[in-house]
Amino acid sequence: MHRIAVVGTGYVGLVGGAGLADLGHSVICVDRVEEKIEKLSRGEIPFYEPGLSEVVERNVREGRLSFTTDISLAVAESEVVFCAVGTPEGDGGAVDLRQVDSVAEEIGRHMTGYRLIVQKSTVPVGTARRIAGIIREHQSEPHEFDVVSNPEFLREGSAVGDFMRPDRVVVGADSDRAMATMRSIYRPLYLIKTPFVETTPETAELIKYASNAFLATKISFINEIAGICEGVGADVQSVAYAMGLDKRIGPKFLHAGAGYGGSCFPKDTKALVKIAEEVGREASIVAAAVEVNRLQKERMVDKVVDAAGGDVSGRTVGLLGLSFKPNTDDMRYAASQVLAAGLTERGARVRAFDPVATENARALMPDIEYTEDAYSAAEDAHVLVIMTEWNEFRRLDLERIRDLMAEPSVVDCRNVYDPEDFEPLGFRYEGVGRGRPKETQ
């Protein structure tokens, strides 16, 4: 068992801290926001993540997990310090490292002996060495330490499972001592034969960006294909299925839709473009994926306007789903924001429902209406838009929806349904890339 401090209680820090405690370690999570720590101490999770509250509650009850605002205490009492603070997008796509730098300063001030510092936040290449320099500069007296890069690969909505059953664990370290400690921390994952990638800090830092950029590029690629499908009368679902059967390609992330969002892909793709620029290279494929994603979100606005007959002024649009993906309340870079803004600018009345993200959405989109269920969002709507593929939207009573709407028109921005589900009931249905042969149009 190791004594571990985790600085930062966002998605990465809280899931990581709770997961490390579940592996048997003694973990203290640190955050400067007093209200958040008070809530966590009472068992209240500050964001929606399936299964996380149970893991937190269990490890608090069994004495392996605790919370504090006192970073000096956490650093002094721990042998390993994970840094999991936010690294938001800065100017021109660069990463804002102020929180990371601040944590490094605090670690330097409060070390009482050897410490292993584990950089968990997504940071530019070279940050591990930057952290080491800051720690040396702020040490009150010299102590040995190591800084390693251990990027996270958690998916919002399935983060707990991703931590406990990861595809791989990546560790970038310069010393045998640091690597041995990281192997010991993750030993329970060795028992389930999780691949353990041992490399340098710089390579580990780049692995995270390269992974996210590749997945984002797959999404943008299939969305470009979807546009072509609509033009030529082909079906992107069949195209993607056949592509995915090729083992060199694989089926994952070949789902046409409204574009990617969330805390990682938008920020990390821009950051990788910036990193390339700073070393005199071009990340032109990644830059293209970023631009395609921006245009795809705007294209959804045009789809809805077209479905309303070319003009949404004075008309009501029902919007099902606000979070950037299902099983999360995260609104960061959500396509729903672009859609709602574009429609309201054109004079539409937008009425929306989301199972868990309404509170976060209200703060970002105060000018639209919010309802208590999907059917209330559909009432008197001229167009109904499916924007997030929550499971409950897969089993709607379509006849009831039709009878509630002012006009039976649906834009399915996530291809949750097939045209055949709606059209026999008298709906006009528009998906993404669901083209049909010209003679049937």
pLDDT digits (tens, 9 = 90+) for 371-414: 999 999 999 999 999 999 999 999 999 999 999 999 999 999 99
Sign of CA dihedral 90, 93, 99, 100: negative
Q: What does the block give as tokens for 396?
A: 């709607």
**Residue 333 Rama label (left phi>0; alpha psi -120 to 50; beta):** left
pLDDT the model gives residue 201: 97
Return the SS3 of 176. helix
Pick the CATH number of 3-199 from 3.20.20.70, 3.40.50.720, 3.40.50.300, 3.60.10.10: 3.40.50.720
Residue tagged active-site, from 29, 83, 229, 264: 264
pTM (2 decimals)?
0.93
Q: What is the pLDDT of residues 83-102, one digit of tens each?
A: 999 999 988 889 999 999 99
Question: Could you tell me what percent of the chain has a pLDDT over 90?
Answer: 95
Those residues whose C-beta lies under 8 Å from the C-beta of residue 291, and which sit 6 or more positions away, are: none
pLDDT the model gives residue 191: 82
Q: How far is the C-alpha of 136 from the C-alpha of 88, rounded, in Å? A: 25
Residue 439 has pLDDT above 70, yes or no: no
Q: Do 138 and 104 contact (CB within 8 A), yes or no? A: yes
pLDDT the model gives residue 437: 64
Q: What are the start and end residues of each CATH 3.40.50.720 domain in the chain? A: 3-199, 213-440
Cα torsion through 265, 285, 207, 239, rounded to 10: 70
264 is catalytic: yes
Region 213-440: CATH code: 3.40.50.720
Q: What is the pLDDT of residues 204-240, one digit of tens each?
A: 999 999 999 999 999 999 999 999 999 999 999 999 9
Q: What is the pLDDT of residues 338-348, one digit of tens each?
A: 999 999 999 99
